[in-house]
Amino acid sequence: MTPEEEHDFYGQPENQEPQGAPRRRTAQRTNFSRDPSDPFAANRAHVRKKFAAKLGYLERMIDCVADEINPWAGKPLESKADRIIALVLSRSLTTARAVVCLAEAGFGTHGAMLNRALFEDLIDAGWTVCNPDAAAKMHSAHERREQLALRVSLEKLPATSDASFEPLTAEEVAELADETRFGRYGERHWTGVSLHARIDAAKGAWEEHELVKLRTMYELAHHRNNLLLHSSPLAHNQHLAEDAPGYLKTFAGPSTVEMDRTLFGAAWTIGAVGLLVMQHFDFPRAGEFADWRERQERRALSPEIFDLGEVDRNDPCPCGSGDKCKRCHGVRE
Ligand SMILES: [Zn+2]
């Protein structure tokens, strides 16, 4: 895909060379339509068509996880750690749905930023499965610190009529002075462990082949999403349309940048969170879900990866999805 194709929803010429002497100007273009009732309708139609396979993969994965866990068919939630895992699952489903909304409106890069949160939730769920006692203790301790820190912040603000809080007691001030675990404002992670160390300490939550994929997602997707979230050259350059001496063209607004990666990453991750929960709580259909998820993942991979040359339409698809080729990669454009 050329940058031109990536940036353009409506086929407007993007890469015209500046005529004559180089001009110094900054051009910005947005793709918002003029329909105030739904400014993103045209984007949605475009994304739904162009990224049908990956968007379908993500939506099927969200729906399936939501359907499998509701009504709850697993073991009852017995511990504080179990409650944390259930909350992480709920947050992950919400995040994945938000990624669909953002991506189909043309905000794939911002969907990728959410994928960063989604991936971290997956790791936290795995870490909690493997370290239930530490998770319970640290979660409560971090929650306490957040509340104390919030009250300190409110105390510093000019009094407002609707801010109601108890000033800190001497004991609470002393408690908050100890910043070793979470930092002054709870800015460190609630587990007290870095993401890298959490992955190592959560290894037991995944089978070997899943762990290999998870590490790949960490090394490639998560690091990239991290850069997109923060103010980095990679993030800035996502908005560069043309850069020539004396001529800078940027774009602001919807585009199809990052769309493929974002949809695939969100689908993979929410599926992984769902599977982890089903396995942890002994859902009777966890094994079936794992197989189905594997097939969905294979179906969503780009057709170029597979050699479709010699395959009959009615043969099993070479991707290994188990479907006939004509119903799988054989029908892709
Ligand atoms: Zn296939």
Domain membership of residue 15 (yes or no) is no
Domain membership of residue 283 (yes or no) is yes
φ and ψ of 321, to 5 deg: -70, -20
**C-alpha 97 to ligand 1 mean position (Å):** 25
247 shares its domain with 319: no
**C-alpha 309 to ligand 1 mean position (Å):** 13
Kindly indicate the confidence band of residue 251, based on its pLDDT and cuts at 50, 70 and 90. confident
**C-alpha 323 to ligand 1 mean position (Å):** 7
320 shares its domain with 229: no
User: Per-residue pLDDT averaged across 190-204, rounded?
Assistant: 96
Q: Indicate the helix (H) or strand (E) that contains 142.
A: helix 132-156
**C-alpha 4 to ligand 1 mean position (Å):** 29
**C-alpha 302 to ligand 1 mean position (Å):** 9
pLDDT at 32: 52
Question: Does residue 302 register a pLDDT over 90?
Answer: no
Most confident of 9-18, 27-36, 298-307: 298-307
232 shares its domain with 96: yes
| Sign of torsion over alpha carbons 28, 34, 37, 42 | negative
**C-alpha 299 to ligand 1 mean position (Å):** 5
Kindly report which listed range (8-22, 29-43, 100-114) carries the lowest average pLDDT score: 8-22
CA 105 to chain centre: 16
- Cβ-contact 117, 95 below 8 angstroms: yes
Q: Indicate the helix (H) or strand (E) that contains 52.
A: helix 52-69
Q: What is the CA radius of gyration of the chain?
A: 24
pLDDT at 10: 41
> Between vectors from CA 177 to CA 173 and to CA 178, what angle results, nearest 5°?
130
292 shares its domain with 332: no
User: Per-residue pLDDT averaged across 20-49, rounded?
Assistant: 67
Domain membership of residue 167 (yes or no) is no
pLDDT at 161: 55
In 24-116, the DSSP E strands lie at 26-27
How far apart are the C-alpha atoms of 218 and 214, rounded to whole Å? 6
Domain membership of residue 17 (yes or no) is no
276 shares its domain with 261: yes
Question: Does residue 25 register a pLDDT over 90?
Answer: no
**C-alpha 330 to ligand 1 mean position (Å):** 7
Strands 247-250 vs 240-244: parallel, antiparallel or unpaired: antiparallel
**C-alpha 293 to ligand 1 mean position (Å):** 14
**C-alpha 142 to ligand 1 mean position (Å):** 46
Range of the domain at 331: 307-333
Q: Indicate the helix (H) or strand (E) that contains 215.
A: helix 208-216
pLDDT at 321: 83
pLDDT at 90: 97
Domain membership of residue 152 (yes or no) is no
Q: In this structure, how many other beta carbons lie within 10 angstroms of the beta carbon of residue 163?
A: 11
How far apart are the C-alpha atoms of 28 and 40, rounded to whole Å? 18
Three-state DSSP at 26 gives strand
Kindly indicate the confidence band of residue 19, based on its pLDDT and cuts at 50, 70 and 90. very low
62 shares its domain with 99: yes
**C-alpha 327 to ligand 1 mean position (Å):** 8
224 shares its domain with 115: yes
User: Per-residue pLDDT averaged across 268-287, rounded?
Assistant: 98
**C-alpha 277 to ligand 1 mean position (Å):** 27
Domain membership of residue 99 (yes or no) is yes
Instruction: List, for residues 154-185, the tens digit of each pLDDT value.
Output: 888 776 656 667 888 999 999 999 999 999 88
**C-alpha 96 to ligand 1 mean position (Å):** 24
Instruction: List, for residues 228-246, the tens digit of each pLDDT value.
Output: 999 999 999 999 989 999 9
pLDDT at 33: 57
**C-alpha 264 to ligand 1 mean position (Å):** 15
**C-alpha 307 to ligand 1 mean position (Å):** 10
264 shares its domain with 324: no
The helix-helix angle for 132-156 and 170-177 (nearest 10°) equals: 120
229 shares its domain with 288: yes
The answer to whether the bond into 71 is cis (omega within 30° of 0) is: yes
Q: Which two tokens stand for residue 130?
A: 């493997």
CA 212 to chain centre: 19
How far apart are the C-alpha atoms of 84 and 49, rounded to whole Å? 38
Residue 147 vs residue 37, higher pLDDT: 147
How far apart are the C-alpha atoms of 88 and 91, rounded to whole Å? 5
**C-alpha 186 to ligand 1 mean position (Å):** 46
Three-state DSSP at 251 gives coil
- Cβ-contact 115, 96 below 8 angstroms: no
pLDDT at 332: 53
User: Per-residue pLDDT averaged across 251-264, rounded?
Assistant: 92
Total domains in the fold of the chain: 2
Q: Indicate the helix (H) or strand (E) that contains 55.
A: helix 52-69
**C-alpha 54 to ligand 1 mean position (Å):** 13
267 shares its domain with 315: no
Residues 6+ apart with CB under 8 A from 131: 191, 201, 202
φ and ψ of 25, to 5 deg: -160, 160
**C-alpha 45 to ligand 1 mean position (Å):** 24
**C-alpha 290 to ligand 1 mean position (Å):** 17
**C-alpha 94 to ligand 1 mean position (Å):** 29
Name residue, tokens 């259930």.
86
Q: How far apart are the two ends of the chain, measured CA to CA in Å? A: 14
Instruction: List, for residues 45-95, the tens digit of each pLDDT value.
Output: 999 999 999 999 999 999 999 999 999 999 999 999 999 999 999 999 999
> Between vectors from CA 195 to CA 70 and to CA 192, what angle results, nearest 5°?
95
Q: What percent of the chain has pLDDT above 70?
A: 87
**C-alpha 57 to ligand 1 mean position (Å):** 13
